[in-house]
Amino acid sequence: MALLPGFPPASIQGLHLQGSGCGAVCEDPHPIELKLGFSPTVVALRLEDAPLVRFGLTFDRRHRPDLWPLRQELARVRQAFPELKSIELQVDDDVQVELLVAVADVCIGAGFPKVVVGPAAGDP
């Protein structure tokens, strides 16, 4: 079952935590060039530390995030840079696990099968 309507379910195999030993398990190293920083209210997408887009998160009455803008931006990046396979989620401490999983699900569904999760690198 998908976490959000219209999005395919995430593959747990595509989610790696920094420091989890992925380097010893993965066959080849996967340099991360695409970074997605987010807090409970802001999403910022960067390529090689150059800002691509930044927008505020909105939620419906049932407190579900509207991730449609993220889905659209990831599709645009995927089309422009088809060679990218990895994305690093730089997560603020205040982000709830449900939001983290929903964002990872969108990333995997957008064609980024290798999702690495790490701490936020400053302001998203």
The whole-number average pLDDT for the span 78-100 is: 90
pLDDT(100) > 50: yes
CA distance 106 to 109: 5
The whole-number average pLDDT for the span 98-116 is: 93
pLDDT(115) > 50: yes
CATH topology classification for 12-119: Nucleotidyltransferase; domain 5 (3.30.420)
User: Range with the lowest mean pLDDT among 15-19, 32-36, 56-60?
Assistant: 15-19
Sorting pLDDT into bands at 50, 70 and 90, what band is 47? confident
**Which pLDDT score, from 0 to 100, does residue 106 have?**
94
- Catalogue the long-range contacts made by 4-10 (C-beta closer than 8 Å, 24 or more residues apart): 4/64, 4/67, 4/102, 4/105, 4/106, 7/67, 7/71, 7/105, 7/106, 7/109, 8/105, 8/108, 8/109, 9/105, 10/101, 10/104, 10/105, 10/108, 10/109
The whole-number average pLDDT for the span 40-67 is: 88
In the chain, where the domains are located: 12-119
DSSP state of 65: B
pTM for this model (two decimals): 0.71
